[in-house]
Amino acid sequence: MKKTAVILAAALCLTMTACSNEFAEQEYVSAEKIVQSGDRYATSHSASTWINNELSYSAGSFDGRETLWSEIVIDEGTVEISVSLSLDEGMAKLVYIDPDDNITELIESTYGKDISRTITMPEGENRIKLVGYGCKELELEM
């Protein structure tokens, strides 16, 4: 009887773990979900700091979509964005969302990448989001 209970508990844990990032995997490719104003994510051991307009973000695990930057632009302008993204497992991407909810992928990585890109930001709310699933040991500098 005790052995059966242990086996059932282990099976339940495995089932819950396997499904824990299913929402994130589905939303990873859904433009409709990515552009939503609300965030939906699960993370562990995460930390972020903004110093002199530079973001440093790390997470032991990450699943979902999180807004890392948002600003209402009054006058259209351009900005140079440099990004370094790395992770040990999973899929992650950083996207720019303009006021009309058009998505521009800045970087997508399963290992390590650096990019530098100029973006024209029109008047209105401009956002940058991190989107990922199954991410382990994620590191982002922007």
pLDDT in tens, 48-86: 999 998 999 999 999 999 999 999 999 999 999 999 999
> What does the radius of gyration of the chain's CA atoms come to, in whole angstroms?
18
The whole-angstrom separation of Cα 13 and Cα 133 is 19
pLDDT band for position 2 (50/70/90)? low
Residue 108 domain boundaries: 21-141
Provide the residue type at 67 as one letter. T
Residue 17, pLDDT above cutoff 80: no
Residue 45 belongs to domain with CATH number: 2.60.120
Q: Is the residue at 80 inside a domain?
A: yes
Q: Which two tokens stand for residue 73?
A: 């632009």
Q: What is the pLDDT of residues 19-37, one digit of tens each?
A: 457 888 888 989 999 999 9
- The domain total for the chain is 1
Q: Is the residue at 33 inside a domain?
A: yes
The whole-angstrom separation of Cα 23 and Cα 120 is 31
| 0.85 surpassed by pTM | no
Which residues fall within 8 angstroms of residue 101, CB to CB, at 6 or more apart?
Answer: 35
Q: Is the residue at 135 inside a domain?
A: yes
Whether 97 contacts 119, CB under 8 Å: no
Q: Is the residue at 97 inside a domain?
A: yes
pLDDT of residue 20: 57
Could you give phi then psi for residue 111, rounded to 5 degrees? -130, -105
Percentage of residues of the chain with pLDDT beyond 70? 84
Which residues fall within 8 angstroms of residue 102, CB to CB, at 6 or more apart?
Answer: none
pLDDT of residue 125: 96
Q: Is the residue at 84 inside a domain?
A: yes
Provide the residue type at 135 as one letter. C
Q: Is the residue at 6 inside a domain?
A: no
